[in-house]
């Protein structure tokens, strides 16, 4: 740990505070005794002080001993006053207090491995690591759990201001025999790598560089810089963070772990922090921990972390609590240079490319790579009327005020498109996904769509299973859309797992829904392939996969309520054994007998229907059925009853309609599909997991082999937004397929919302482009809207009593609407879409191509703007 700062004053100058702190410190100290004993006994074998002596030294140095800066009053003397008496027991007594160090090391190691694999560079590359405030060298030795430290790094510099801690570090590496580690006992802000390394064409200077000397242009710098619980102890932290900016190479990685306290109000409107999951610390905790750590001159001032995040780009971050010792707040953060772009890849090129990825706009390289700022400004000014993504808008806003780009721009993959996670439309889901698996039959989708390498697909994410099924068919692009961020977090996790994990681990996570080593896999293997927000989401929920008492992934999300209710009913009605028998049935006839005799009487009883299933709250929370869709079910039921027996029409109730819909759904499934053999949608509901015999196609070994290839997801774009917003920001005439599931059922027939969305779909689709939709109605009312807005609608399937429409059989009908005519915009002026001015393009091309003329116009405008 690097030097603490400020004027040194002995304990006792703030008696009321110290009284509270002293009492609580004794309690916390006692909590750690049992934990510390194991570490201390291990260290005793290495001729270090005994367990009891270690605890006494720790307690005396931290809580009783007066600290003084000595006659010189400098920082180094202050450090020695604190560390000299406890240097030999430092590692033994910090194991529990300084938690999260291993996580930080694992994350930066994963980043470095990913970069090495991506660049095709092995151990022969000369890599440099600088550990700022490295103290006893514990971090460097601990890194050996994740990397071969002596071989992976050509040089490691441990920089610390405490002579006592540096001496322990020298002894450590002499014992280990690691000759590539150099111990530098000096102030971190004065450390200059070029004094010790021949970087680029520059030879090491003979004399010490001035404090004001800048890093020479074009030098390589350090590949890794780490700070482990040292930033909070550095008084002049601004200058140290600034010096790290010069120290770190252009594509280097910076890792920090430290204590913090902060209110979410301070950072709620910052889009570059990597996300706010768990960041808020309540008032009492903030006040207590600031005072408690201030006793040892450890500053939890929020400005330290704020300046770090302002000075660098955020790759990943996580806000955690030390649950073993008083729930102390700490954070783990991985970052990079604010503009981590090589000379051949300039900032505005990256922004333009990501913008093009999100909007399907043609991307052209700038003809003039000089005067980047001016070129970017001209591009923004002249292309303002064009369709732009929200990522582009956010990037320009940040660059204009010298802020880091949103963390999405610093990811290793650009699958996830920027979104503002603090908007109410996203927070309404309370960080919970509804669906842990997708309720659309991917086999039917594949048969109907027959996707090819030229297709550009837009589809609702849901649990991502259907997106992965489309990816196995290798279309050019897939735009996955969901308003619920958690649904997209789930898709991201699956995509990252394809990219980084072998099939065995992939199957355990998504086939069985559990993996005891999930947290390790997330940090050490998946983290380089996730956005910061998705990483934080799954880090906070790793217990879903690891809890031995839990039921795993498929007993989570809103849909878990339906599964749990069925489990409860099967116990109440005494048919839990029958469910197991049904899953073990080897033939369809055997399955039918079990269904008719034991399960159907309970599941489809009028009691269950009236008390549970007809509840609007249950239908929404468990099955995702909104009120407008429920009205369509009731209307179809009323019409069918009136036709069969007009006298029954007046007696129709919601309970009767829902019960009849359930009968038409479940009876054909049980009678016509072999659940254990070829119906994974009901297999996972009944069993809580898939089986090697019965699972979606994306879980097969063949699909894993296909989708784990490099570049398999280069065409994936994950949008967290409404469908309307995304369609409005996609270039006209570029989509070939839109899969909207049953989302059109959610519209109110009395509003114009359906017509507006269909109009945007017409604009975004090429001529002959298709919309695939499902509905709970036999003939949904909005088909007339499609036909009036240039589409021809064809029924692809319908459900009749006793017959399945597909293996899910949850919907009454399936339709394919094909674009036949282009629409002219309502006015020649620019229309406002999603809060931005968007040019209304004329789509009357006349050549039937549905987009060629528009692309030519866009290319000409972009060329003009970038010149």
Q: Give a yes or no: residue 645 inside a domain.
A: yes
pLDDT of residue 379 exceeding 80:
no
Task: Place 340 in a pLDDT band, splitting at 50, 70 and 90.
Answer: low
Task: Place 590 in a pLDDT band, splitting at 50, 70 and 90.
Answer: very high
| Torsion of Cα atoms, 485 then 486 then 487 then 491, to 10° | 100
Q: Which residue has the tokens 């006839």?
A: 589
Task: Place 762 in a pLDDT band, splitting at 50, 70 and 90.
Answer: very high
Task: Place 133 in a pLDDT band, splitting at 50, 70 and 90.
Answer: very high
Statement to judge: residues 63 and 140 lie in one domain: no
- The lowest-confidence range among 495-504, 536-545, 820-829 is 820-829
Statement to judge: residues 108 and 207 lie in one domain: yes
Q: Give a yes or no: residue 470 inside a domain.
A: no
Q: Give a yes or no: residue 536 inside a domain.
A: no
Q: Give a yes or no: residue 418 inside a domain.
A: no
Distance (Å, rounded) from C-alpha 477 to C-alpha 717? 8
Statement to judge: residues 261 and 187 lie in one domain: yes
Taking CA atoms, 427 is separated from 69, 136, 433, 529, 720, in Å, by 49, 44, 11, 24, 12
- What confidence score (pLDDT) does residue 66 get? 55
Statement to judge: residues 78 and 103 lie in one domain: no
The 10 Å Cβ neighbour count of residue 788 is: 10
Statement to judge: residues 250 and 384 lie in one domain: no
Q: Which of 36, 60, 92 is the last residue of a domain?
A: 92
Distance (Å, rounded) from C-alpha 380 to C-alpha 377? 5
Statement to judge: residues 260 and 331 lie in one domain: yes
Domain count, the chain: 4
Q: Which residue has the tokens 């469910």?
A: 579
pLDDT tens figures, 451-464: 999 999 999 999 99
Host domain of residue 57: 15-92
- The lowest-confidence range among 35-44, 216-225, 412-421, 556-565 is 35-44
Mean pLDDT of 419-427: 93
- The lowest-confidence range among 113-127, 207-221, 471-485, 795-809 is 207-221
- What confidence score (pLDDT) does residue 341 get? 56
Q: Give a yes or no: residue 704 inside a domain.
A: no
- The lowest-confidence range among 173-187, 376-390, 686-700, 792-806 is 376-390
* pTM, 2 dp: 0.84
Statement to judge: residues 283 and 197 lie in one domain: yes
Bridge partners, residue 459, by sequence: 480, 739
Q: Which of 735, 286, 297, 127 is nearest to 481 (CA)?
A: 735
Q: What is the CATH number of the domain that holds 184?
A: 3.40.50.150
Distance (Å, rounded) from C-alpha 406 to C-alpha 245? 18
Concatenated DSSP letters of 14-51? SHHHHHHHHHHHHHHHHHTHHHHHHHHHHHHTTTPPPH
Q: Give a yes or no: residue 121 inside a domain.
A: yes
Task: Place 841 in a pLDDT band, splitting at 50, 70 and 90.
Answer: very low
Distance of CA 774 to the CA centre of its chain: 29
- What confidence score (pLDDT) does residue 587 get? 94
- Between 573 and 131, the more confident residue is 131
Statement to judge: residues 248 and 316 lie in one domain: yes
Q: Give a yes or no: residue 22 inside a domain.
A: yes
Distance (Å, rounded) from C-alpha 223 to C-alpha 127? 6
Mean pLDDT of 38-64: 50
Q: Which contacts (CB < 8 Å, 24+ apart) does range 462-465 have?
A: 462/435, 462/438, 462/487, 462/741, 463/433, 463/435, 463/436, 463/437, 463/438, 463/487, 463/490, 463/491, 463/557, 464/438, 464/488, 464/490, 464/491, 464/494, 464/495, 465/437, 465/438, 465/696, 465/698
pLDDT tens figures, 490-514: 999 999 999 999 999 999 999 999 9
Statement to judge: residues 323 and 202 lie in one domain: yes
pLDDT of residue 526 exceeding 60:
yes
Q: What is the chain's mean pLDDT, rounded? A: 80
Q: Which of 92, 109, 125 is the last residue of a domain?
A: 92
Statement to judge: residues 366 and 255 lie in one domain: no
pLDDT of residue 555 exceeding 70:
yes
- The lowest-confidence range among 253-267, 392-406, 522-536 is 392-406
- What confidence score (pLDDT) does residue 836 get? 42
Task: Place 825 in a pLDDT band, splitting at 50, 70 and 90.
Answer: low
pLDDT of residue 533 exceeding 70:
yes
Do residues 789 and 759 lie in contact, with contact meaning Cβ atoms separated by under 8 Å? yes
Do residues 2 and 132 lie in contact, with contact meaning Cβ atoms separated by under 8 Å? yes
Mean pLDDT of 842-847: 33
Statement to judge: residues 32 and 66 lie in one domain: yes
pLDDT tens figures, 350-376: 788 888 888 888 754 443 434 444 444
The 3-state DSSP class for residue 179 equals coil
Distance (Å, rounded) from C-alpha 516 to C-alpha 547? 7
Beta pairing class for 716-719 and 735-741: unpaired
From the number of C-beta atoms within 10 Å of its C-beta (0-12, 13-18, 19+), residue 177 rates as exposed
- What confidence score (pLDDT) does residue 570 get? 79
Mean pLDDT of 236-258: 94
Mean pLDDT of 769-774: 96
Q: Which of 636, 653, 679 is the last residue of a domain?
A: 679
- What confidence score (pLDDT) does residue 635 get? 86
- What confidence score (pLDDT) does residue 326 get? 86
Q: Give a yes or no: residue 642 inside a domain.
A: yes
Bridge partners, residue 163, by sequence: none
Distance (Å, rounded) from C-alpha 462 to C-alpha 464? 5
Mean pLDDT of 429-439: 92
Q: Which helix (H) or strand (E) holds 324?
A: none
pLDDT tens figures, 74-125: 555 555 555 554 555 555 556 778 899 999 999 999 999 999 988 776 656 7
Statement to judge: residues 579 and 643 lie in one domain: yes
Q: Which of 499, 505, 500, 492 is nearest to 538 (CA)?
A: 492
pLDDT tens figures, 713-746: 999 999 999 999 999 999 999 999 999 999 999 8
Question: What is the percent of the chain with per-residue pLDDT over 90, rounded to a whole number?
Answer: 55
């Amino acid at each position: 740990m690097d030097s603490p700062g400020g004027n040194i004053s002995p304990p006792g100058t703030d008696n009321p505070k110290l009284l509270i702190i002293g009492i609580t410190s004794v309690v916390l100290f006692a909590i750690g005794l049992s934990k510390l004993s194991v570490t201390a006994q291990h260290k005793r074998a290495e001729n270090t002080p005994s367990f009891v002596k270690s605890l006494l030294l720790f307690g005396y140095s931290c809580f009783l001993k007066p600290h003084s800066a000595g006659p010189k009053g400098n920082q180094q003397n202050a450090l020695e006053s604190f560390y000299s008496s406890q240097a030999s027991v430092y590692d033994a007594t910090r194991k529990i207090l300084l938690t999260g160090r291993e996580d930080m090391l694992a994350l930066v190691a994963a980043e470095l491995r990913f970069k090495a694999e991506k660049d095709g560079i092995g151990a022969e590359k000369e890599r440099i690591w600088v550990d700022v405030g490295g103290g006893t060298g514990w971090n460097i030795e601990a890194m050996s759990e994740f990397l071969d430290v002596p071989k992976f790094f050509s040089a490691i510099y441990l920089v610390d201001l405490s002579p006592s801690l540096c001496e322990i570090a020298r002894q450590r590496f002499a014992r280990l025999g690691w000759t590539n580690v150099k111990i530098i006992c000096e102030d971190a802000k004065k450390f200059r790598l070029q004094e010790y390394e021949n970087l680029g064409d520059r030879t090491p200077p003979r004399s010490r560089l001035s404090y004001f000397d800048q890093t020479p242009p074009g030098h390589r710098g350090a590949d890794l810089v780490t700070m482990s619980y040292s930033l909070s102890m550095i008084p002049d932290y601004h200058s140290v963070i600034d010096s790290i900016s010069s120290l770190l190479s252009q594509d280097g990685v910076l890792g920090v772990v430290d204590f913090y306290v902060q209110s979410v109000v301070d950072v709620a409107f910052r889009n570059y922090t990597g996300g706010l999951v768990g960041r808020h610390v309540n008032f009492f905790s903030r006040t207590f921990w600031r005072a408690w750590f201030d006793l040892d001159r450890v500053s939890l001032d929020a400005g330290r972390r704020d300046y770090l995040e302002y000075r660098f780009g955020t790759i990943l971050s996580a806000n955690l609590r030390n649950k073993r010792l008083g729930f102390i707040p700490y954070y783990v953060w991985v970052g990079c240079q604010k503009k981590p772009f090589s000379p051949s890849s300039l900032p505005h090129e990256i922004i333009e490319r990501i913008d093009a990825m999100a909007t399907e706009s043609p991307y052209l390289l700038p003809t003039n790579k000089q005067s980047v700022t001016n070129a970017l400004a001209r591009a923004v000014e002249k292309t303002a009327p064009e369709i732009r993504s929200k990522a582009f808008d956010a990037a320009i806003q940040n660059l204009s005020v010298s802020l880091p780009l949103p963390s999405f721009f610093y990811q290793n993959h650009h699958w996830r498109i920027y979104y503002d996670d603090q908007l109410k439309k996203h927070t309404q889901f309370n960080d919970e996904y509804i669906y842990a698996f997708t309720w659309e039959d991917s086999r039917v989708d594949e048969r109907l769509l027959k996707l090819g390498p030229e297709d550009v697909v837009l589809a609702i994410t849901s649990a991502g299973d259907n997106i992965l099924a489309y990816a196995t068919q290798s279309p050019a692009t897939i735009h996955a859309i969901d308003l619920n961020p958690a649904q997209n977090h789930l898709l991201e996790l699956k995509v990252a797992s394809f990219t980084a994990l072998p099939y065995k681990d992939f199957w355990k996570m998504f086939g069985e829904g559990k993996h005891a080593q999930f947290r390790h896999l997330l940090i050490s293997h998946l983290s380089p392939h996730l956005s910061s927000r998705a990483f934080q989401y799954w880090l906070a929920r790793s217990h879903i996969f690891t809890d031995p008492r839990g039921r795993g992934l498929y007993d989570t999300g809103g849909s878990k309520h339906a599964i749990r209710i069925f489990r409860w009913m099967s116990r109440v009605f005494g048919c839990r054994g029958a469910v197991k028998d049904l899953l073990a049935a080897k033939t369809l006839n055997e399955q039918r007998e079990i269904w008719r005799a034991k399960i159907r009487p309970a599941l489809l009883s009028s009691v269950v229907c009236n008390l549970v299933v007809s509840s609007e709250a249950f239908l929404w929370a468990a099955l995702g059925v909104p009120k407008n869709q429920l009205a369509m079910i009731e209307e179809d039921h009323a019409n069918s009853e009136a036709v069969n027996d007009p006298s029954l029409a007046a007696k129709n109730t919601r309970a009767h309609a829902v019960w009849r819909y359930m009968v038409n759904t479940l009876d054909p499934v049980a009678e016509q599909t072999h659940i254990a053999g070829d119906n994974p949608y009901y297999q996972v509901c009944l069993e809580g997991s898939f089986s090697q015999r019965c699972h979606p196609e994306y879980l097969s070994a063949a699909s894993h082999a296909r989708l784990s290839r490099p570049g398999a997801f280069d065409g994936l774009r994950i949008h967290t937004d409404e469908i309307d917003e995304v369609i409005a920001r996609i270039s006209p005439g570029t989509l070939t397929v839109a899969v909207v599931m049953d989302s059109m059922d959610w519209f109110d027939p009395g509003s114009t919302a359906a017509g507006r969305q269909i109009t945007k779909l017409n604009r975004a689709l090429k001529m002959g482009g298709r919309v695939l939709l499902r509905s709970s109605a036999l003939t949904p009312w909005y088909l007339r809207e499609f036909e009036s807005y240039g589409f021809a609608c064809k029924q692809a399937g319908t459900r009749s009593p006793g017959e399945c429409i597909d293996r899910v059989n949850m919907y009454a009908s399936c339709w394919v609407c094909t674009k036949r005519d282009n629409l002219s915009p309502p006015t020649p002026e620019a229309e406002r879409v999603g809060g931005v001015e968007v040019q209304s393009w004329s789509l009357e091309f006349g050549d039937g191509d549905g987009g060629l003329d528009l692309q030519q116009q866009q290319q000409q405008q972009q060329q003009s703007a970038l010149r």
